[in-house]
Amino acid sequence: MKKMLLSILVSFIACTVSANVRLTKIFGDNMVLQRDQTIPVWGWADSREKITLRFNKQTREVTADGSGKWKINFTAEAAGGPYQLVITGNNIITISNILVGDVWVCSGQSNMEFRLQNANDADREIQQANYPRIRHFEVPKTVSPQPKDDLTGSDWKLCSPATAGNFTAVGYFFAKELQRELNVPIGLINTSWGGTHVETWTSRDAFENDEEFKTMIAGMQVLNIDSMARQKIAATTKRLEKIQASFPPSSTEVSRWKTTSFDDRPWPKMMVPGLWEQQALGDFDGVVWLRKTVNIAAGDAGKAAVLELAMIDDADECYVNGIKVGITRGYNVKRKYSIPSNLLKEGKNVIAIRVEDNGGGGGVYGEAAGVKLLIGSITLSLEGEWLFQVESVSTGSAGVGPNSSPTLLYNGMIHPLIPFAIKGATWYQGESNAGRAYQYRKAFPLMITDWRKKWKQGDFPFYFVQLATFNASNGDSRKGSSWAELREAQTLTLALPNTGMAVTTDIGNPTDIHPKNKEDVGKRLAAIALNKTYGKGNVYSGPVYQSFKVEGNKIILSFTNIGGGLSAKNILDSLNGFEIAGADQQFFTAKAYIDGDKVVVYHDQVVNPVAVRFGWADNAGKDNLFNKEGFPAGPFRTDQWKAITETAKYKIGN
């Protein structure tokens, strides 16, 4: 009898739990719903459960299907609020403080993920960030081999000094500018993940229906996370066995890696600063030790010192001569550790860093000048070769990163948002695709088209950021530049309807892949939206190359989007960034000047010019062709000569 009663009780509890009506997690207190469009609302309940929804003056009734799913559409609402959404089934849900305005998806890799608290003038900006009609929803980082129906969590945050520091910085400045101009609520859905490829943000069926990628995706097995993790760990382990003499190392051996007596001479080398994905270690998530021996003069021994290590992705423990001097978590936090007096010795001293990387980029990165040891007035640069050794590989599901397979982030971080009504999307990504820049011409438009098809809101606005200046590998016209080719692929994507691109070569940092000037990035995206989406008639772009003609030993360039006229920023009349070549394809740094609405380019050694390039380098920060409204011209080339990334193709796991 007791067993029967227990069984009945368990069944009753199970039915009660399953009967509770619930919404997908994008719906919650403080949310923003899209104005002037049909508003979809959806969720789950008990099979065939009857549900009533009330919002503002609208009421809808729906019956869940046999699997418990349900969905309704409210008719379009004008901007306003606050309102409540009340859902009544076997239970009642009340969502409060809802505004109706414009909702923008903010997506991409680390420069979109980059938080306001790490941007230029962050303290001042955060202190003044009292904008309760700007709301921010951060989608949790989630990989999934299959499209997920719901997010794993999160909630909407009102913009205030207490919350704004964790907002996407680009999204924050974009929203701030829109609200200033439009005076309507702005909602930001931040779904971004540092170090990610565009292919992980694209759905499987998009690849299956595309000539470029259908063979690749046909070879991808349907896997679960655990089996994917096992495969990745096995492949990584095999690769590491070739890189270092002993893998995996014993715990006893690892315990000696911070000490001065350990013999690290057999260890391989990597450059610091520099993410290890771009070096011999390659795609790796786990724990790596870095060691460097520094010679200290007798006069500096025993003095207190400061150790600066730029930034470390994601977490670190730092030791000097075997003594821990600091520990920090956060991929974009500057490392600065105090070394007590009497720790540094005359002669050889060992700095050892235990770096833990949980996904995306890994290692010490940032400005070379930020990696140093300060002893009084003496500065010792720590830039250059460090020795490294892998302690362990991420195991279990954590071993599956967002780039382990295509579609993983579409499945886990985009699909659960659909069909939430949005105004459009902003995108900042491409650094991780630079090695396959030529193929990005197809991969990026494919992703945009895929999202638009899935959302079924037509060709909604899609505005993106062109790669900023960064000296990834000293690329230029002579040796080739994958970053220039990626920027070209982004420019070509403007052929898609209702797209726009913010040029940022002038506001990057050649030694930091995460430039801190995110305010101008957000404002330039907002300028595009204000013109193309909201019809404000403002100038939103710098000069755009249109055509050229040859006159003797000169090439005359024509442009669109010149606004109030062409301008050589910071220099009276001389232009930087132009190169010219003859049929031999040998480029020379050109002399260039503005002639009315044209640019004239020449070089004395190029008698019969056939091609011009502008900003064709990883580091294009000195380019200075602008319009008088202050928008820069984007990099371009007039030739179609072979690209260095032309044969690089996406393969699963690379």
pLDDT, tens only, 456-501: 999 999 999 999 999 998 999 999 999 999 999 999 999 999 999 9
Residue 646 near residue 437 (C-beta atoms within 8 A) = no
Token pair listed for 551: 């006159």
Say if residue 3's pLDDT is above 80.
no
Q: How many CB atoms lie within 10 A of CB 562?
A: 24
- What is the chain's length? 654
The secondary structure of 442-453, three-state, reads HHHHHHHHHHHH
For 18, 268, 315, 645, the CA distances from 393, given in Å and listed in that order, are 39, 17, 15, 30
Say if residue 296's pLDDT is above 80.
yes
Distance CA 20, CA 441 (A): 47
Q: List beta partners, residue 23.
A: 43
pLDDT-derived band at 4 (thresholds 50, 70, 90) equals very low
Q: Could you tell me how many helices (H) and strands (E) the chain has, helices first? A: 12, 35
Query: What is the percent of the chain with per-residue pLDDT over 90, rounded to a whole number?
Result: 83
Distance CA 48, CA 52 (A): 13
Q: Among the listed ranges 312-316, 466-470, 551-555, 590-594, which one has the minimum average pLDDT value?
A: 312-316
The pLDDT, as a whole number, for residue 19 is: 61
Say if residue 12's pLDDT is above 60.
no
The pLDDT, as a whole number, for residue 537 is: 97
Say if residue 225's pLDDT is above 70.
yes
Alpha carbon 541 to chain centroid, angstroms: 22
Strands of 587-589's sheet, edge to edge?
A: 587-589, 578-581, 611-614, 636-637
Residue 202 near residue 446 (C-beta atoms within 8 A) = yes
Reported pTM: 0.86
The pLDDT, as a whole number, for residue 367 is: 84
Residue 51 near residue 87 (C-beta atoms within 8 A) = yes
Q: What are phi and psi of 478, to 5 degrees?
A: -75, -45
Say if residue 635's pLDDT is above 90.
yes
DSSP code, position 480: B
Say if residue 360's pLDDT is above 90.
no
Distance CA 527, CA 461 (A): 13
The pLDDT, as a whole number, for residue 284 is: 86
Token pair listed for 390: 């892998």
The pLDDT, as a whole number, for residue 343 is: 97
The pLDDT, as a whole number, for residue 10 is: 43
Say if residue 559's pLDDT is above 80.
yes
Residue 320 near residue 351 (C-beta atoms within 8 A) = yes
Say if residue 180's pLDDT is above 70.
yes
Say if residue 221's pLDDT is above 80.
no
Say if residue 549's pLDDT is above 80.
yes
* Model pLDDT for residues 443-460, shown as the tens digit of each residue: 999 999 999 999 999 999
Q: How many CA atoms lie within 13 A of 140 on its CB side?
A: 13
The pLDDT, as a whole number, for residue 543 is: 98
Contacts of residue 46, Cβ cutoff 8 Å, sequence gap at least 6? 15, 18, 19, 21, 64, 68, 89, 90
Sign of CA dihedral 477, 473, 427, 433: positive
Contacts of residue 222, Cβ cutoff 8 Å, sequence gap at least 6? 145, 146
Closest CA to 589 of 463, 478, 443: 478
pLDDT-derived band at 14 (thresholds 50, 70, 90) equals very low
Say if residue 9's pLDDT is above 90.
no
Q: Among the listed ranges 152-166, 219-233, 319-333, which one has the minimum average pLDDT value?
A: 219-233
Residue 544 near residue 490 (C-beta atoms within 8 A) = no
**SS3 assignment, position 369:** helix
Write down the mean pLDDT value for the chain.
93
Distance CA 101, CA 107 (A): 19
Say if residue 400's pLDDT is above 90.
no
Q: Among the listed ranges 41-45, 330-334, 617-621, which one has the minimum average pLDDT value?
A: 330-334
Residue 207 near residue 213 (C-beta atoms within 8 A) = yes
592 membership: H or E segment, kind and range: strand 591-595
The pLDDT, as a whole number, for residue 201 is: 98
* Model pLDDT for residues 495-538, shown as the tens digit of each residue: 999 999 999 999 999 988 899 999 999 999 999 999 999 999 99
568-575: average pLDDT: 80
* Model pLDDT for residues 324-342, shown as the tens digit of each residue: 999 998 887 889 999 999 9
356-385: average pLDDT: 91
Domains in the chain, start-ordered, CATH in brackets?
Answer: 239-399 (2.60.120.260), 544-633 (no CATH)
* Model pLDDT for residues 58-83, shown as the tens digit of each residue: 999 999 999 999 999 999 999 999 99
